Every structure is written in C-alpha cells, then in structure tokens.
C-alpha cells in the first residue's frame, strides 16, 4: 500500500471507520504481577470526526494510544478485544500489514515533542525519512515533498526549518514538525496523545487551530487524548470520558462538556476554576473536589470503579458493574443512576 499522496492532492479517503470493542490491556511487572490499564474499553470513531478522549492519570488514555497500533512497551499485553480499522482487525494483523498501516493510514503523535525528534538530525531529513519508509522515490522527489509538507505547517519559513536541528526550534515549532510527520503519508486517522500539554496557552491555541485547519483540508479523523477538558471544547465533535480503563461517558462534545451526566464527568468539570467563565465558584473559595485518589486497578472490584468517590452512589453500585445506558442521542453513560 504505497499510499503517499502529494500534499497538493489530498487523499480521497476510504471511510476510516475505527471500532474498538472490549479492549483489555495489562502491564506485567518483573515479579509477574499483572496490573490492568484498560479493562473493557469500547468506542468508535466516525469518518472525518474528532473524538476527544478525556482522562486523568491512570485512566488508561495513553495506553489506548499505544495499543491501537500495537506499540505497547514490552511488558504491555493486549489480553483481549478487537480494533477494527478499514475492515481489518489490527490486533490480529500480520506485522507486515501493521507496518504498512502505521504512519501511512494511522499516525500517532506522542506526548513530548522534544523527545520524539532525533536531536542530531536536521528537520528536513527527519521528515524525508517518513516518506522514505513508505515509498521509493528519487531523492529529488522526496526533497520536494518534504518542503511542500513543511510549508503546510510553516507557511513562511519552511526552507529554514528544514535546515534546522530540533534544539533550534521552540516547543510549538517542534510540535508543528510532528504534525507534519503525522500527515506526511496521507493517513485517514491521526491519534494525538496530549499534543499541547507542555506548551503555553497561546502556543497551545495556535497548535489546535493548525490541527483544525489541516483536519479539514486533508479530511482527517482525529483522536485527541488529553487530561484537560477545556482543550476539547470547540475542538472535539464527540468526547469519550475514561475512568479506570473504561468509558464512563461518551457523547456529543457540547453535551458531555455542557451537561455531563456521569457523576465523575460532572464532578471533574465542577472542580475547575471558573473565574474566566464569569460564574460559579468565587475567587479564593474552596473548589468542589472529587474525594479520594485515582483508582488502583490491581485491586479486584466487583462493582463500579468510581463508586468509592461518587456522590450519587447506591447500594447496587458495589455489587456489579453498571451497564452502558443511553441518555440521549448518541450519548451514553455507564452508571446505574440512569437505569440498570
């Protein structure tokens, strides 16, 4: 599948229909102890849509990014589940098939831009390498494609950036380079894990706007993984809220962020300072917090994982796991409050 298109002709994509079903991933310690990270996660991404994945430390959100393309570290184990992408189950695909999908059909942008780039190779080379991994063109063609691609993210000084080393670039510029690498081969899906977490608010805003522009131009589906709900407002079409390796709530972004239904989502959004929103909590007043710590998945639990911290818990919550309940159009919550 030499799917590399020149940037002038954005790819006519086949429906990038990603379906994740009952995904279980665990990490095995040296002592052989198993700690689950994903415990039965299911969701789907529709063609051209941006799914925001919202989760705090330990929710399994970064494991998800790595597991989709089987890029987990050596001690990570996919225990069961299905990841259907363009009609193929990625979890059962041959390594060679997978290699052709990685980077070309699904691209991943990992967290720390300064770690993702080789410190001693010029930017232009590092972008050319992405093309070279998926097609065999002459040096001249590759170079031209590289400059064309860089111009998408650096409209005014692509040539200078191509000659630079990573340390000569700012955090925001490095992130632009990673975005260029991600879209190089015309993927239909880009998975970005906290792409703006280490950036200033104004640089963060620039990167998100750039993302928005490119996603329309190249008809990309995007999975944006973040711990900050505010980053998703105005950017994601739908939001998936993860808690303890599972989906707590999923639905249209304005619904999940505007009128959250799951007690966890609700408590999380209420705990944010809102001086800029012009309402709710008073300056220097106590913020409403979620009591307790993030859940420990090594401890077996029979009931809902959020139960111990939940303001709305019922007796039933400790006995078994809540099923997924529809609370609105394509808005679902995993909570007994809305039915059994």
Partner 1 sequence: MGLNHDNAERLLIVENLEKVYAGRGVLGTKKEVIALQGVSFSIRPESTLALVGESGSGKSTLAFCLACMERPTSGRIIFQGNEITALDEKQQRAVRPQIQLVFQDPARSLNPRFSALELVSEPLLVQGRLHKRKREDRARALLAQVGLPQEKALQRAEEFSGGQRQRLAIARALALEPKLLILDEALSALDCSVQAQIANLLLELQSSLGLTYLFITHDFAMAGHLADEIAVMERGKVVELGAADRVLREPEHEITRRLIAATPRLGSAAHLPQVV
Judged by the rule CB under 8 A, the positions of this chain that interact with partner 1 are: 56-57, 155-156, 171, 200-206, 208-210, 212-213, 227-231, 233-235, 257-258, 267-269, 271-277, 281, 283-290, 293-294
C-beta of 240: minimal distance to partner 1 in Å?
16
By beta-carbon proximity to partner 1, the closer residue of 104 and 182 is 182
By beta-carbon proximity to partner 1, the closer residue of 139 and 276 is 276
Q: Give the CB-side neighbour count of residue 313, counting CA atoms within 13 A.
A: 16
By beta-carbon proximity to partner 1, the closer residue of 273 and 328 is 273
C-beta of 86: minimal distance to partner 1 in Å?
30
CA dihedral 289, 236, 53, 336 (to 10 degrees): 60
C-beta of 92: minimal distance to partner 1 in Å?
34
Q: What is the largest CA-CA distance in the chain?
A: 68
C-beta of 285: minimal distance to partner 1 in Å?
8
**DSSP secondary structure string, 63-124?**
HHHHHHTT---TTEEEEEEEEEETTEEGGGS-HHHHHHHBTTTEEEE-S-HHHHS-TTS-HH
Q: Which residue has the tokens 């959020």?
A: 306
C-beta of 100: minimal distance to partner 1 in Å?
32
By beta-carbon proximity to partner 1, the closer residue of 5 and 270 is 270
C-beta of 87: minimal distance to partner 1 in Å?
34
Residues whose CB is less than 8 angstroms from the CB of residue 281 and which lie 6 or more positions away in sequence, other chains included: 273, 274, 275, 287, 288
Contact 124, 162 (CB under 8 A): yes
By beta-carbon proximity to partner 1, the closer residue of 18 and 257 is 257
By beta-carbon proximity to partner 1, the closer residue of 89 and 157 is 157
User: For residue 55, what are its two tokens?
Assistant: 């989760």
Contact 330, 249 (CB under 8 A): no
C-beta of 80: minimal distance to partner 1 in Å?
28
Do β-strands 189-193 and 221-226 pair in parallel, antiparallel, or remain unpaired? parallel
User: For residue 260, what are its two tokens?
Assistant: 């959250």
User: For residue 270, what are its two tokens?
Assistant: 């209420």
> Strand, coil or helix: what is 309?
helix
By beta-carbon proximity to partner 1, the closer residue of 70 and 227 is 227
User: For residue 3, what are its two tokens?
Assistant: 């799917």
């Amino acid at each position: 599948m030499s799917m590399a298109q020149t940037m002038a002709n954005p790819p006519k994509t086949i429906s990038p229909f990603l379906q994740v079903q009952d995904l279980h991933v665990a990490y095995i310690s040296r002592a052989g102890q198993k700690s689950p990270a994903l415990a039965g996660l299911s969701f789907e991404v529709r063609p051209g849509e941006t799914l925001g994945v919202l989760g705090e430390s330990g929710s399994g959100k970064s494991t998800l990014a790595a597991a989709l393309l089987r890029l987990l570290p050596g001690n990570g184990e996919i225990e069961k589940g299905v990841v259907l992408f363009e009609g193929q189950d990625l979890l059962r695909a041959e390594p060679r098939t997978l290699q052709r999908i990685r980077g070309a059909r699904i691209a991943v942008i990992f967290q720390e831009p300064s770690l993702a780039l080789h410190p001693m190779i010029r930017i232009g080379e590092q972008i050319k390498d992405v093309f070279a991994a998926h097609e065999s063109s002459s040096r001249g063609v590759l170079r031209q494609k590289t400059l064309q691609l860089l111009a998408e993210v650096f409209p005014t000084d692509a040539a200078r950036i191509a000659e630079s080393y990573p340390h000569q670039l700012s955090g925001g510029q490095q992130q632009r380079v990673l975005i260029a690498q991600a879209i190089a081969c015309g993927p239909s899906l880009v998975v970005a894990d906290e792409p703006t977490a280490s950036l200033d608010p104004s640089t963060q805003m620039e990167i998100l706007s750039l993302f928005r522009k490119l996603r329309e131009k190249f008809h990309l589906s995007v999975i944006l993984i973040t711990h900050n709900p505010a980053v998703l407002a105005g950017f994601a079409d739908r939001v998936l809220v993860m808690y303890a390796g599972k989906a707590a709530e999923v639905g249209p972004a304005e619904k999940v962020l505007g009128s959250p239904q799951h007690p966890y989502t609700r408590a999380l959004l209420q705990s944010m300072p809102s001086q800029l929103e012009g309402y709710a909590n008073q300056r220097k007043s106590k913020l409403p917090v979620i009591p307790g710590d993030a859940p420990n998945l090594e401890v077996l639990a029979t009931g809902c994982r959020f139960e111990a911290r939940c303001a709305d818990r019922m007796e039933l919550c400790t006995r078994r796991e809540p099923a997924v309940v529809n609370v609105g159009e394509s808005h679902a919550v995993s909570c007994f409050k809305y039915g059994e």
